[in-house]
């Protein structure tokens, strides 16, 4: 799972660079990914996730356990 957020499922997007003369060349937009360690109090252990900045905001908003259960339900994360 390279360059995919494990919480939100954001991945690489592709499109075109458009020059002044409207010549188009292919390019990619990469998500803003971070390798971050989190402490699970329920299981008394640390986990490492590759998450986007938006996923980090989601964890701050709804909590780690809720975000992990939502990611497993949506199929972005198989096991943590």
Residue 25: strand, helix, or coil: strand
Instruction: For each of the domains in the chain, give its residue range(s) and CATH number, in order of start.
Output: 13-74 (2.30.170.40)
pLDDT given at position 67: 96
Question: 50 pLDDT exceeds 80?
Answer: yes
Instruction: Determine what percent of the chain falls in helix, strand and coil, rounding each to the nearest 5.
Output: 25, 35, 40
pTM given for the model: 0.85
pLDDT given at position 6: 96
pLDDT given at position 2: 86
Is-contact 30 10, C-beta < 8 A?
A: no
Side-chain half-sphere exposure of 61, counting CA atoms within 13 A? 8
């Amino acid at each position: 799972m390279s360059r995919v957020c494990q919480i939100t499922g954001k991945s690489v997007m592709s499109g075109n660079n458009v020059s002044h003369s409207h010549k188009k060349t292919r390019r990619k937009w990469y998500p803003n990914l971070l390798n971050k360690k989190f402490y699970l109090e329920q299981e008394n252990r640390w986990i490492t996730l590759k998450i986007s900045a938006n996923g980090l905001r989601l964890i701050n908003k709804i909590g780690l356990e809720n975000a992990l259960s939502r990611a497993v339900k949506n199929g972005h994360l198989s096991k943590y």
